[in-house]
A and B are shown apart, each in its own frame.
Chain A
Amino acid sequence: MNYMVAHPGFLWLLLLAPLPWLVSVLQPAPFPSLDGVPRDILSSLISFGVKAAACLAIVSGALALAQPYRLAQSVKLLATGAHVVLVMDRSLSMDFSLNDDTAQGNQESKTQMSARLMTDFVDKSPHDQFGVVAFSSAPVFVLPISAHREAVKAAIMAQSRPGIEGTNVGLGLQLALAMIGHDPDATSPVILLVSDGEYGGAGFFQLDLQDSLRQTFQKEHAHLYWLFLRSHKGNEDVFAPPPEGVEDSPHTKPERHMDLFFKTLGVTYRVFWADSPHAIEDAVAEIDRLETRPVNYYEEIPRKDVTPVFYGLAAFTCFLLVVAKLAERHFRRSAGFAGEAGPA
């Protein structure tokens, strides 16, 4: 808790704080001897109370004039959540709708859909932190892992532009893992791959890249979720083995081989087949539910003016003093004082 004052010059007034202990708040009533006054604990307490109130009134008044405020700060808190790196596919195919048609009228393209869903995901996960990586032929470092929601959402929205040729999932994942590796706070990393898969993918994972990915995934313990943006075409299952006689290779069935490769990584991996907008929302909710690892996050607390507290305290103590002052009594009779009634 750090506090500062706006006008430190007024703090000199704090030197007046001991004044109530030196000078009585009330008008003294002369009496021949204190021996004639009974000892009384309640009176002593009230005496201390009146002095303390006067002292507090001076102190809080001086502080209020100095206008104290609490500095803006960030508090480290623990919550359940994840450090999610959104790996977003920027290939040309993402410009089509879910049914692989050119988006027409009010139809959503896959890019727009993924941006909208990811924005919702960011909004619904208050304690998660997000990084953004985009990829097409080459990966693009968009935003490091951060808790700034507005920045994350802006980075996501920035992806809703026409796609670029090529899909290189491997390099995108590698960049995402590098991002995780560079962030020491990323204790529960998650990679959320938003992609519609490989169209006519040619040799997408070189062997050395496969080894490298496998090692890095294991090192970072990153969970991998794949939001697979494609609708079912007829009864074709892209993950199922091909029928008899058809070649089973990464060239003919790239998604099936990507899936097989991800399963060999040895980390939590799930693929969510998002064949309709509704299914995608379910998938996002499922990811949210699965990721319950503890995560540290920082909450920003803005600068706060605490002057009213001190003005209130000063007003309250002054009110007490006024009450004490109203209760003040003296020994001397004001009316009919013999010594001043007439000439001696």
Chain B
Amino acid sequence: MTGAAATISYRPRERAEGIVIGAHRGRSGGGQGGFLDQVSYLRQPDPRRIDLRLTLRDPFENVYVRRFEQRLAIALYAVVDLSRSMSFEGTARKMALVQDLCLSLARSAHELGDAFGIIGCDSEVREDFLLTATRNRGSESEIARRFETFVPRRRSAAGLAQAAAHLAGKRKLVFLISDFRMPAAEIEKSLESLSRHDIVPILVSDSAEEADLPRFGLIDVRDLESGASKLVFMRPALRCRWLAEAEARRQMLDHLFLSYGRPAFELKDRFDADALSRHLLDI
């Protein structure tokens, strides 16, 4: 697919930490990189970086040291909801969309020298879908292979809240990919567990769920997760209510996501790399 080749641009919300040299502005000033500022020698006692010009110019005869901003690499993680609701097929297959997104993220990360990993979750973290962040470009084909052979089976996405245990250490850019059909409390729990990271919620949706609903007819709706069935007599009035309820839920989700940093990016029908770039760069 065309989406798989596209790369995205992204920028972590805060300065990166770590030691691996990369493309993102680091938090700590180091000896290399772009000039950041000058600080008192007492703050950074590094005689190799003494700024002679400023030291001599200072009437109070303080000694100043130049600081440089080290550009660092970060790690990207995709925390993917692999519960059965993600097997929905409407205008597109949700799992195919997620695969496209993950491949694009992997490629983009590796182009910038960042690491990319995937944590697949259903009712718990799936050990067979756990790819530790790596800068190894060969991992992309492995990701594709995992997605192609995987069939979502479990009926819960509770594992999203346990993913944080696999994300210890430095601050990471975490893409939380799900359809967010679980109760709000459960979503908040996983957001809270991931809150020390830079969370990018990706809401996987489909226009067949909302805008393209039939105007008239009988639909035997079967819940992909619980297997329960419910007959719906579609008609314009009910369609309006359906859309209104979906809109209300969307607003509730936006409110929830914003309180954890970023609004959700809606991955709808097709993967648009440019739209995701604009979303991530806040353009």
Is A105 an interface residue, CB under 8 A from the partner?
Answer: no
| A31→B246 CA distance, assembly (Å) | 14
Whole-angstrom distance between the Cβ of A250 and the nearest chain B Cβ: 93
Please determine whether B219 and A29 come into contact, CB atoms closer than 8 angstroms: yes
- Interface size classification for chain B: 35 or more
Knowing A332-B90, A338-B92, A344-B1, say if A24 contacts B229 (CB, 8 Å). yes
Indicate the member of B92, B93, B219 with the most A CB atoms within 10 Å. Answer: B219
| A138→B242 CA distance, assembly (Å) | 96
24 of the cross-chain contacts (CB-CB < 8 Å) are A24-B222, A24-B231, A26-B220, A28-B229, A29-B220, A30-B222, A31-B222, A31-B224, A32-B85, A32-B88, A32-B223, A33-B225, A36-B209, A36-B245, A37-B242, A38-B241, A43-B231, A46-B231, A47-B231, A50-B231, A327-B217, A331-B209, A337-B91, A338-B92
Q: Using a CB–CB distance below 8 Å, which chain A residues touch chain B?
A: 24-38, 40, 42-44, 46-47, 50, 324, 327-333, 337-339, 342, 344
CB neighbours (8 Å) of B93 from chain A are 338-339
CB neighbours (8 Å) of B212 from chain A are 333
CB neighbours (8 Å) of B1 from chain A are 342, 344
CB neighbours (8 Å) of A327 from chain B are 216-218
- How many A-B residue pairs lie within 8 Å, measured between CB atoms? 130
Please determine whether A338 and B96 come into contact, CB atoms closer than 8 angstroms: yes
B 219-271 contacts with A by CB, 8 A: 219-226, 228-234, 238, 241-242, 245-246, 249, 269-270
Main secondary structure of the interface of B (DSSP, over half): mixed
| A158→B7 CA distance, assembly (Å) | 113
CB neighbours (8 Å) of A344 from chain B are 1, 96, 148
Whole-angstrom distance between the Cβ of B153 and the nearest chain A Cβ: 14
Please determine whether A38 and B242 come into contact, CB atoms closer than 8 angstroms: yes
Is B114 an interface residue, CB under 8 A from the partner?
Answer: no
Whole-angstrom distance between the Cβ of B178 and the nearest chain A Cβ: 10
Is B181 an interface residue, CB under 8 A from the partner?
Answer: yes
Of the candidates A44, A46, A339, the one whose C-beta lies within 8 Å of that of B218 is A46
Please determine whether B220 and A328 come into contact, CB atoms closer than 8 angstroms: yes
Please determine whether B222 and A329 come into contact, CB atoms closer than 8 angstroms: no
| A43→B214 CA distance, assembly (Å) | 15
Whole-angstrom distance between the Cβ of A176 and the nearest chain B Cβ: 73
Of the candidates A40, A46, A339, the one whose C-beta lies within 8 Å of that of B89 is A339
The chain B residue sitting closest to A333, CB to CB, is B91
Whole-angstrom distance between the Cβ of B228 and the nearest chain A Cβ: 6
Of the candidates B220, B222, B233, the one whose C-beta lies within 8 Å of that of A42 is B233
| A327→B96 CA distance, assembly (Å) | 30
Indicate the member of B1, B85, B88, B90 with the most A CB atoms within 10 Å. Answer: B90
Is B190 an interface residue, CB under 8 A from the partner?
Answer: no
| A259→B208 CA distance, assembly (Å) | 102
Please determine whether B220 and A27 come into contact, CB atoms closer than 8 angstroms: yes
